[in-house]
Amino acid sequence: MRYHADPLADATVVAIVGSWDLPPDESSLQTLLALNSERLLHLHAATLLMNSWTSNAAIVDWAPPAGTAAPQHVVDALRQYLDAGRALPEWADPAKIALGENVFTGHGPLSVMSLFCASLPDCYVQPKAAAVLQISGQLTAHADYRIRSTAAMVFPVMLRGGMTTGEGLGVAQTLKVRLIHATIRNLILHGAPEAMINAVVPPTSNKTPDGQPMTSAAAMPMHSAFIANGWNVARDGLPNNQEQLVFTLLTFHYVFLRALRTLGIGLRQADEEAYLHCWNVVGYVLGIEQKWMPSSYADAEKLFIDIQTQCLADHVYPGGTDARPALAGALIDYMKASIPFRLIKPFPALFTRYLCGSAVADALGVSDKQSFLSRILFAVGMGIVRLIDGVVRLFLPQFSLSRMFSRVVGYHLLTTFLMDQTRPLKLPTHLLGQIESAVAAWDDDPKAPGWLNRLEDRMTVRGAWHGNAR
């Protein structure tokens, strides 16, 4: 899996960029960028053209918007990519997809909570994938960029009709992400992945011939960072390979389901399997091979543990530095910054340890050495909540304080980071409207008694949920 990536997307990027021109000595990034400036412009043109993929219907018989100036070979490559990649798999079950969407819309705030405190941290446990993220600077210099980009995929694929209707955006957005993965591979490896299986791509210097830092480089600094990094394919596998894609998919469906079970809010087996199926369809469009897609919770758990165990035992880091603590630290700090009360600022770290386990938290550098009072408050609070839930459910099966508090956490993360009206997610206007409507409908928990919803209102907001948390 580590030496296999995505033939369709990789071939598309090669068709856009072509073969790289490499200097005899790859020590200068400036030289490398100059030799390939036209190829990078073609890549930039492709990125601009993808902005017109504004719905699933828009990528059927897609053509560039009128007046767009783009090389014909770039247009042809994107059109062929869409024609080959937009269809759902034959095994996609519309009824299961609809049920999986219902799970998301019915547990939206918990999904957001799980994204921040479980899915993303678990995803970072992969040393090689963490290295790619660190190269881009997306989670250290710009922590919110990666989180908001992730949300900009989760909402389109999981809202009703996201993958199955022309008005939805799930297929189009997933194909964008798939091509971004292939672009990163091509930039890091300076060529087609299949030709680099045993290669070692040396890092290049980002200094000018007179020894000064290069400040004028490409108009796309993130591209330059990937180009300059270098990569040992023989030792580390391909960037964004099948193993990494599969594990990331597991963090979106299995880890969410595991978080619900950990919190005592488990779903029916049919709901769990539908949620797995829905995300597996997304995985297929993302370029993941079907044989790595689990259909049951037990199968997902086994595959997740198998890969996670190897990741935890892997102490070889691209670039020589373990990127995982920096990434996890940026995420935790990002959450802490939104908490006004000092006593509960350690809660994001404590909650991450609770949902991901101590082994993962230790690998990520998410310490349990928080203030004694905060740890006691968290432990006692979780214990009391689980005890009350266990007793009350003997009489009211749908009752859950755990679900209520998780919804509160999800609300504040959602409205503070993802629904800020001053900087909306980079999505088409019509989809932002759908997201606003979905979030507004999460204001009350239909499974909770009225008094519990009123208590939740005191910790969130009265009435419909909206951007800019109070």
**Number of Cβ atoms within 10 Å of the Cβ of 116:** 26
Contacts made by residues 191-194, CB under 8 angstroms, sequence distance 24+? 191/14, 191/19, 191/20, 192/10, 192/11, 192/14, 193/5, 193/10, 193/238, 194/7, 194/10
Which amino acid is located at 325 in the chain?
P
DSSP β-ladder status, 231-232 and 200-201: antiparallel
**Mean pLDDT (10-residue bins), the chain, 470 residues:** 94 94 76 87 93 95 89 95 96 96 91 91 92 71 73 91 94 96 93 86 67 42 82 92 95 95 91 97 96 95 96 88 89 83 84 93 86 86 89 86 89 82 78 86 89 90 70
**Residue spans per domain, the chain:** 340-459
CB burial of residue 44 (10 Å; 0-12, 13-18, 19+)? middle
User: Of 303, 138, 299, whose CA–CA distance to 225 is shortest?
Assistant: 138
Q: Give the DSSP letter of residue 169.
A: -
Distances (CA, A) of 70 to 8, 34, 46, 66, 354: 21, 21, 8, 11, 50
Residues whose CB is less than 8 angstroms from the CB of residue 436 and which lie 6 or more positions away in sequence, other chains included: 419, 466, 467
Residue with tokens 């011939």: 209
Assess contact for 360 and 308: CB atoms under 8 A.
yes
At residue 8, the pLDDT reads 96
d(CA 385, CA 400): 8
Element (H, E) at 222: helix 221-229
Assess contact for 156 and 427: CB atoms under 8 A.
yes
Dig out the tokens for 460 from the structure.
């969130």
The residues with which 232 forms a beta bridge, in sequence order, are: 200
Radius of gyration, alpha carbons of the chain = 23
d(CA 215, CA 207): 9
At residue 421, the pLDDT reads 67
Residues whose CB is less than 8 angstroms from the CB of residue 180 and which lie 6 or more positions away in sequence, other chains included: none
At residue 469, the pLDDT reads 46
